[in-house]
Structure 1
Amino acid sequence: MVDEPHAQPPTDIHAALEAVLMVAAAPVREEELARSLNVPVHAARSGLEYLKAEYDGVIGPTPAAPPESPHLGYDGGSAPRMRGFELRHVAGGWRIYSRSEYAQLVTDFVVEGSSSRLSQAALETLAVVAYLQPVSRSRISAIRGVNVDGVVRTLVQRGLLTAHEREESTGSVLYSTTPLFLEKLGLGSLDELPDIAPLLPGTDQLEDLED
Structure 2
Amino acid sequence: MSSDERGNSLADQAAAWVPPWARQPAEPQPAEPQSAEPQPGPEEPDEPVPAVADERAVADELSAGDEVPEQTAATETAGAPATAPDEPVPAAVAASAPEPADVPVTGNRRRVPRRPDPRPAVDLPALDDDAELDAALEAILLVVDQPIGEMLLAQTLEQPVERIGAALERLSAGYTATGHGFDLRRAAGGWRFYTRAEYAGYVERYILDGQTVRLTQAALETLAVVAYKQPVTRSRLAAVRGVNCDGVLRTLVVRGLVEECGTEPDSGAFLYRTTTMFLEKLGLNTLADLPPLAPFLPTDIEELTDAP
Q: TM-score, normalised on structure 2?
A: 0.50
Gaps of 5+ in 2: 1-123, 299-308
Distance 2:297 2:228 in 1: 8
* Aligned positions of 1:139-150 closer than 5 A: 139-150=236-247
Distance 1:41 1:116 in 2: 40
Q: Specify the alignment match of 2:283 in structure 1.
A: 186
Q: How far is 1:38 from its partner?
A: 3.5
Q: How far is 1:191 from its partner?
A: 1.3
Q: How far is 1:27 from its partner?
A: 0.2
Q: How far is 1:177 from its partner?
A: 0.8
Whether the aligned pair in 2 keeps the contact of 1:31 and 1:41 (CA below 8 Å) is yes
Number of residue pairs aligned between Structure 1 and Structure 2: 172
| 1:135 alignment partner, SS class | coil
CA RMSD of aligned residues (A): 2.5
Whether the aligned pair in 2 keeps the contact of 1:136 and 1:174 (CA below 8 Å) is yes
Is 1:9 the counterpart of 2:102? The answer is: no
| 2:292 alignment partner, SS class | coil
Whether the aligned pair in 2 keeps the contact of 1:14 and 1:51 (CA below 8 Å) is yes
Which structure ranks higher in relative contact order (CA pairs < 8 Å, sequence separation ≥ 6)?
1
Match of 1:55 among 175, 180, 195: 175
Is 1:91 the counterpart of 2:188? The answer is: yes
Structure of larger gyration radius: 2
Q: Which amino acid aligns with 1:179?
A: T
Is 1:46 the counterpart of 2:166? The answer is: yes
| 1:170 alignment partner, SS class | coil
Please identify which structure carries the higher helix content.
Answer: 2
Deviations 1:30-85 (CA, angstroms, capped at 9, x unpaired): 1222233333322222211100111221xxxxxxxxxxxxxxxxxxxxxxx23222
Gaps of 5+ in 1: 1-6, 58-80, 202-211
| 1:168 alignment partner, SS class | coil
Question: Aligned residues: percent identity?
Answer: 52
Distance 2:214 2:237 in 1: 21
Q: How far is 1:133 from its partner?
A: 1.4
Match of 1:173 among 260, 265, 270: 270
Q: How far is 1:199 from its partner?
A: 4.5
Q: Specify the alignment match of 1:23 in structure 2.
A: 143
